[in-house]
C-alpha cells in the first residue's frame, strides 16, 4: 500500500463529502478508491469513516488522522516546491480568483503585466460572482470585496470600494435629482436582484452610526450590476452599485452620482490567501506585484 496515496485519497473523500465525489476528482474508479480506503483503515487498525446511506462521517480517530494527514501532505508539497525551485525563482501555476466585473476591469490587466515579467509562471483565472472557497479550491490568491470572516486566511488590504447611486443626465432632467434617500420612493429604480438590492438600498444618515435600509420600487431588477448600469445609462431609473461597476460610465458622463452625502459604508477590498505553510515565491511575488497596482487602479474609481 502506498501510504501517501492513501492519505491523499482520504483527504479528498473528506473534502468532497463522498467517495463518489472524490473518485470523480481523482479520476479513479469508485471500487478502487473504496478498496484503498479499506486498506488504509486495516493498516491503521481503526475506522476513519462511518458510512451511512446519506453521508460519510469522521470518527474521532478519523478527525485526528485527517488533520495530521493534511499537515503531512502540506509539508510534502512544500518540500516538492522547494526542490523544484519555487522558493528560489517564481515558477509554476498560480490559481487566482475574483469577481466577474472587478476581475475583468482591474485584476486582468495586473495579471497580464505580471505574466510579462515572469515567463516561468502560468495563471489560471477563475472569475465568478459566487464566493470562492480559497482552501477547498486550492486557490493561491483571491480578490475579496467585503468583510473577512475566515480566520484561516491572511489578507493584504488594498483599499475600500464605495457604494454609489447613479442615474443618467436625461433621467435626472426628467425626474429631478433626489436630495435625500427618502426621495427614491417617488422615482423609478433599478435594483440588482441579489442580496435584497432589488427592494432595499442602504444609506448612512446624519446622526446614525450604522447604515439604514431604504425601501425602493424596482421597475427593473436584473441579476447583474453590469445590466443595471446599462439600464441606468438608458434612462430607466436610478441604481445603486459599487463604484467600479459604474466608473467607466461616470467618467464618460453617461451617469451622474447622486446622494453622495448618504453613501453606505464602503466595502474593504483585499487580496486573500491561505495562512498555512510557507508561501511559494510565485504567490509572494504576485502579492507584492499586484497590491500597489490595484491600489493605484482603484484610486481612479
Domain ranges within the chain, ordered by starting residue: 3-83, 92-159+267-299, 163-262
Fold of 92-159+267-299: D-Maltodextrin-Binding Protein; domain 2 (3.40.190)
Averaged confidence pLDDT in the chain: 89
pLDDT band at 175 (very low <50, low <70, confident <90, very high): very high
Q: Model confidence over 138-170: pLDDT tens digits?
A: 899 999 998 887 677 889 999 999 999 999 999
Same-fold call for 3-83 versus 163-262: no
pLDDT band at 281 (very low <50, low <70, confident <90, very high): confident
The closest of 275, 279, 288 to 77, measured between CA atoms, is 279
Residue 253 has pLDDT above 90, yes or no: yes
Residue 17 has pLDDT above 90, yes or no: no
Q: How many Cα atoms sit within 13 Å of 136 on the Cβ side? A: 11
Instruction: For residues 236 and 219, give the distance between their C-alpha atoms in angstroms, rounded to a whole number.
Output: 8
| Domain at 3-83: CATH code | 1.10.10.10
Phi, psi of 48 (to 5 degrees): -100, -30
In degrees, rounded to 5, the angle at the alpha carbon of residue 133 between the alpha carbons of residues 163 and 140 is: 95
> What is the architecture, at CATH level 2, of domain 163-262?
3-Layer(aba) Sandwich (3.40)
Residue 220 has pLDDT above 80, yes or no: yes
Q: Which of 83-87, 196-200, 203-207 has the highest average model confidence (pLDDT)? A: 203-207
The closest of 74, 34, 71, 36 to 56, measured between CA atoms, is 34
Instruction: For residues 253 and 120, give the distance between their C-alpha atoms in angstroms, rounded to a whole number.
Output: 42
The closest of 107, 152, 159, 150 to 131, measured between CA atoms, is 150
Amino acid at each position: 500500500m502506498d501510504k501517501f496515496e492513501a492519505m491523499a485519497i482520504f483527504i479528498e473523500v473528506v473534502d468532497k463529502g463522498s467517495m463518489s465525489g472524490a473518485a470523480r476528482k481523482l479520476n479513479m474508479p469508485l471500487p478502487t478508491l473504496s478498496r484503498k480506503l479499506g486498506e488504509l483503515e486495516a493498516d491503521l487498525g481503526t475506522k476513519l469513516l462511518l458510512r451511512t446511506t446519506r453521508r460519510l462521517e469522521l470518527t474521532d480517530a478519523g478527525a485526528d488522522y485527517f488533520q495530521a494527514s493534511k499537515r503531512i501532505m502540506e509539508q510534502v508539497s512544500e518540500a516538492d516546491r522547494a526542490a523544484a525551485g519555487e522558493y528560489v525563482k517564481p515558477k509554476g501555476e498560480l490559481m487566482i480568483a475574483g469577481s466577474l466585473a472587478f476581475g475583468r476591469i482591474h485584476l486582468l490587466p495586473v495579471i497580464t503585466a505580471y505574466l510579462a515579467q515572469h515567463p516561468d509562471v502560468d495563471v489560471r483565472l477563475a472569475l465568478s460572482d459566487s464566493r470562492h472557497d480559497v482552501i477547498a479550491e486550492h486557490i493561491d490568491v483571491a480578490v475579496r470585496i467585503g468583510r473577512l470572516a475566515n480566520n484561516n486566511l491572511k489578507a493584504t488590504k488594498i483599499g475600500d470600494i464605495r457604494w454609489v447611486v447613479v442615474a443618467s443626465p436625461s433621467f435626472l432632467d426628467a425626474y429631478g435629482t433626489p436630495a435625500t434617500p427618502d426621495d427614491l420612493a417617488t422615482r423609478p429604480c433599478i435594483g440588482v436582484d441579489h442580496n435584497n438590492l432589488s427592494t432595499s438600498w442602504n444609506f448612512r444618515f446624519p446622526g446614525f452610526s450604522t447604515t439604514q435600509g431604504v425601501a425602493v420600487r424596482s421597475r427593473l431588477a436584473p441579476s447583474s450590476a453590469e445590466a443595471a448600469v446599462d439600464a441606468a445609462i438608458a434612462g430607466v431609473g436610478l441604481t445603486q452599485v459599487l463604484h467600479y461597476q459604474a466608473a467607466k460610465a461616470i467618467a464618460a458622463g453617461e451617469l451622474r452620482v447622486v446622494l453622495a452625502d448618504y453613501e453606505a459604508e464602503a466595502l474593504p477590498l483585499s487580496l486573500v490567501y491561505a495562512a498555512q505553510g510557507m508561501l511559494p515565491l510565485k504567490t509572494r511575488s504576485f502579492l507584492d506585484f499586484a497590491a500597489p497596482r490595484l491600489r493605484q487602479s482603484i484610486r481612479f474609481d
